[in-house]
Amino acid sequence: MQPRRARHAFPLCTAICLTLAVPLYGAPPATAGTARAAGTARHATDASGAAGTEAVTAGGVTAGGVTAEPVTTGTANATARGRRVGIAYQAGGATRSGMNDSVRTGLWRAGGLLPGYSVEEPSKNATDAQRAKLLRRLAKGGHNPVIAVGHSYARPLAKVAAEFPRTKFAIVDDATVKAPNVSNLLFAENEAGFLAGVAAALKSRARHVGFVGAVKEPVTQRYQAGFQAGAKAVEPGIKVDSAFITTAPGFGGFDLPKKGKAKARALFEKGADVVFHAAGGSAPGVFAAAKAAGGLVIGCDVDELVSAGDAGHEVIVTSALKRFDVAVYDFIERSITGATKPGVTVYDAKAGGIDYADTGGKVLDIEARLQVWKRAIATGMVRVPTRPS
């Protein structure tokens, strides 16, 4: 991603429209917020709900993973002597998985804090036993901490963490592993969904938008809840339709692109012209439906204009981002200083863990307003619901 461009002026009509949303969501500030990545505050909320804030320079990393000089501190460097971090990627490698690429950006940022790192990558159809072998190899090799990328490591990590009680582990984007030496690095999906809803409403000409979720279950419904709230905060009269590919306990919806296409096509046929998906591996079907209908799509978790390739290039206007790089860098830094905690840490907008993508310049016309809403979430002026209306 290229460095951020200058923002547009914030028009008076926008301020009036935003003020109309005060009864539901609170008033956003009247000016756009500070730069998206540089000079933010770290604010990670743990499972108990306690929040700590400390000043941090973000090192010039933007939402698309453009890396500037890593942040270094004398104390951290002294503590880190001889310490190496191990990363267990998702299948696909850093060049083919947007999640891995974001994790790699966080790892590179932490390069000034550590003497070295190692990366393991499973095959596409790796079993739990094979993933456990990768984690075990990193831990046996003296890597500490070891970071597992994605929920596919949940069962393997639960087993391996018990075998290496003195090694600090983290798992990115999974809450199910519970162990005294495992940190769960999670994100505020409702806040990501809210930014997607804002973008969808601002881009919609039909005043009708849609949401496609892979599986009807709590995490995906947090995206849905935020999306509904964000769209209606911008345009109270907008119509928001939702569809799910499967319902829990059936989790096949994360990898059924044909059904994803059918669900998205139905939303476009009902009149939606912008659709936000949280459909995982079913996303290519959503992109295909949008292309056929002449509609737009908002991607999920990573910058899908980059990671989806030709499949989504024509239809993706932006993506609601989980900043995996922010979480990984923060965990590595805290592991060096002995400040890691087991259990859940949620990276929200205040922590810099939630953002939107501006690759391709397709949100230049609405970026000032997106910034306003993002800063309103980060400062607590907007409280985003976690359950759909």
CATH number of residue 312's parent domain: 3.40.50.2300
Answer yes or no: is pLDDT of 61 > 80.
Answer: no
**Which tens digits make up the pLDDT trace of 306-360?**
888 777 889 999 999 999 999 999 999 999 999 999 999 999 999 999 999 999 9
Give dist(CA 250, CA 208) in Å, integer: 29
The DSSP-derived string for 190-210 is: HHHHHHHHHHHHHH-SSSEEE
Residue 96 is predicted with a pLDDT of 55
Answer yes or no: is pLDDT of 124 > 60.
Answer: yes
Residue 224 is predicted with a pLDDT of 98
Residue 317 sits in the same domain as residue 362? yes
Q: What percent of the chain has pLDDT over 70?
A: 78
158 three-class SS: helix
Residue 122 sits in the same domain as residue 230? no
Residue 330 sits in the same domain as residue 307? no
Give dist(CA 166, CA 85) in Å, integer: 14
Least confident interval from 7-11, 86-90, 148-152, 165-169: 7-11
The H or E element that residue 316 is part of is strand 316-322
Decide if 249 is inside a domain: yes
Decide if 341 is inside a domain: yes
Residue 62 sits in the same domain as residue 177? yes
Decide if 386 is inside a domain: no
Q: Provide the residue range defining the domain that includes 135.
A: 41-187+324-347
Q: Is the pLDDT higher at 71 or at 213?
A: 213
Highest-confidence segment of 44-48, 50-54, 67-71, 233-237: 233-237
Mean pLDDT, residues 50-67 taken together: 28
Residue 310 is predicted with a pLDDT of 77
Residue 174 sits in the same domain as residue 198? no
Q: Place 190 in a pLDDT band, splitting at 50, 70 and 90.
A: very high
**Residue 152, C-beta contacts closer than 8 angstroms, at least 6 positions apart:** 90, 91, 122, 131
Answer yes or no: is pLDDT of 265 > 70.
Answer: yes
Q: Place 47 in a pLDDT band, splitting at 50, 70 and 90.
A: very low
**Which tens digits make up the pLDDT trace of 127-154?**
999 999 999 999 999 999 999 999 999 9
Residue 94 sits in the same domain as residue 145? yes
Decide if 196 is inside a domain: yes
Q: What percent of the chain has pLDDT over 90?
A: 71
Residue 66 sits in the same domain as residue 100? yes
- Report whether 64 contacts 318 (CB < 8 A): no
Residue 185 is predicted with a pLDDT of 98
Least confident interval from 100-104, 239-243, 381-385: 100-104
Count of structural domains within the chain: 2
74 three-class SS: helix
Residue 173 sits in the same domain as residue 264? no
pTM for this prediction: 0.81
Decide if 242 is inside a domain: yes
Q: Place 45 in a pLDDT band, splitting at 50, 70 and 90.
A: low
Residue 94 is predicted with a pLDDT of 67
Mean pLDDT, residues 32-50 taken together: 39
Where b means 16+ CB within 10 Å and e means fewer, 152-171 reads: bbbebbbbbbeebeebbbbb
Residue 311 is predicted with a pLDDT of 72
Residue 21 is predicted with a pLDDT of 36
- What's the burial of 379, exposed, middle or buried (CB within 10 Å: 0-12/13-18/19+)? middle
One-letter amino acid at 46 equals D
Decide if 375 is inside a domain: no
Decide if 169 is inside a domain: yes
Decide if 108 is inside a domain: yes
Residue 361 is predicted with a pLDDT of 95
Residue 339 is predicted with a pLDDT of 94
Residue 138 sits in the same domain as residue 243? no
Residue 27 is predicted with a pLDDT of 35
Mean pLDDT, residues 273-291 taken together: 96
Residue 64 sits in the same domain as residue 154? yes
Q: Place 101 in a pLDDT band, splitting at 50, 70 and 90.
A: very high
Mean pLDDT, residues 26-45 taken together: 36
Residue 181 sits in the same domain as residue 234? no
Residue 158 sits in the same domain as residue 211? no
